[in-house]
Structure 1
């Protein structure tokens, strides 16, 4: 397998490989901002994680449980003020990166889905743009173990 970075690939919608990466993810990163029109608009990048399967996927829509965190609520506050956001998924074993841009909606209940253990609320992410960067990262890694806090959270029932 060629481990050199490949040209960026624009995805018109989430293909099978992108969906598989999201479904297997135990980590994602979300970028948000409170006021897009201001240079000092409160940009925030934060981690979202759980056990593999903590993200539910329906076509180009992701459903994310929001587990208890540091209680600052920067991301949720930003998403309420400005629903446009970006998500980043990384395959640490292959060095692949999936970058999504879309619009969010905060959901105070699971709305038509079974509740996820440990979730205090949920948010929906509708993909508007997607890019895949194959072998983009120069280093590789793998998960050795999960924290007890992660193991105490649930996943979406399929």
Structure 2
């Protein structure tokens, strides 16, 4: 599996197209410097070394895109140079990215829910063996705390003997739908033919992700105007979602296709009045208890919009 040449700075064609349609080209241009080549120094290196949760976007051995949790004690994310990160763990057995191949672009999102901080790191997976991932990082930048729910994650108490079964399929079960509808957070992985893969966060009040006839949709919220995720989808509809039940450790991985829809701002379901929503069709799924972290309590992000309707309107 090989990767294409990747420009190190500036927005790509899809990001620019969505920015222009949204009327935020000038505002986004002021942030283009964030896409400069990575420098894993100082505060960023210290932030990474103290974290216990990340999400990885990559392709499995069959080439399908997924996004999976990566967890470990503080220090499992180890900066080895200003452009290199050693991840001292790997997707668990049963995870769709278990035994993922090296030599591919990856996106890593590192989140600290307790302080509502997050950083994106995009680059190339150069090695994946013996429970360690090596990433050459090309971009590293922070995102705002918007829509991150406040929770403290702690290691899950020891499970009863024997691992819980992992289910693979293509159709959502009632339990899957319930997990999605109760979720206040999910992670999304997208990709671009020359810029590689990306991992991002979405949050809102429980119910902000709607499920209808084995399809999902959610309203887009106001953000930093960079449109990294939506820009990728404008070029390539390949997408992956990860839902986590932070009370139990159960996870739902979805891999499929997504599309951005532009609507009239403020219609029912347009909770933040952006005039944008994303539709997602799952093609493959993996469900199990694959998150060895949990939180007993959650405090909603103060900027979560209120739900306006659960029925899509056009």
TM-score (norm 1): 0.85
The equivalent of 2:310 in structure 1 is 157
Deviation of the 1:132 alpha carbon: 0.2
Q: Are the counterparts in 2 of residues 33 and 82 from structure 1 also a CA contact under 8 Å? A: yes
SS at match of 1:149: coil
| Higher RCO (CA-CA < 8 Å; seq separation 6+) | 1
Distance (whole Å) between structure 1 residues aligned to residue 210 and residue 169 of structure 2:
19
Distance (whole Å) between structure 2 residues aligned to residue 85 and residue 91 of structure 1:
20
Segments of 4+ moved more than 6 angstroms: none
The equivalent of 1:63 in structure 2 is 217
Aligned match for 2:176, one of 12, 18, 22: 18
The equivalent of 2:159 in structure 1 is 3
Distance (whole Å) between structure 1 residues aligned to residue 225 and residue 306 of structure 2:
17
Distance (whole Å) between structure 2 residues aligned to residue 70 and residue 114 of structure 1:
24
RMSD of aligned alpha carbons: 2.0
The equivalent of 1:54 in structure 2 is 208
Aligned match for 2:293, one of 127, 139, 154: 139
Aligned match for 2:241, one of 87, 96, 99: 87
1:155 to 1:26, Cα distance in 2 relative to 1, 3 A:
farther
Q: Which runs of 5+ in 1 are unaligned?
A: none
Q: Which runs of 5+ in 2 are unaligned?
A: 1-157
1:61 to 1:119, Cα distance in 2 relative to 1, 3 A:
farther
SS at match of 1:53: coil
Cα-to-partner distance string for 1:7-53 (whole Å, 9 max, x where unaligned): 32112300010000001010000000111xx5xx3311000110001
Structure with higher Rg: it is 2
Distance (whole Å) between structure 1 residues aligned to residue 186 and residue 296 of structure 2:
15
TM-score (norm 2): 0.45
SS at match of 2:220: strand
Deviation of the 1:119 alpha carbon: 4.1
Distance (whole Å) between structure 1 residues aligned to residue 260 and residue 296 of structure 2:
31
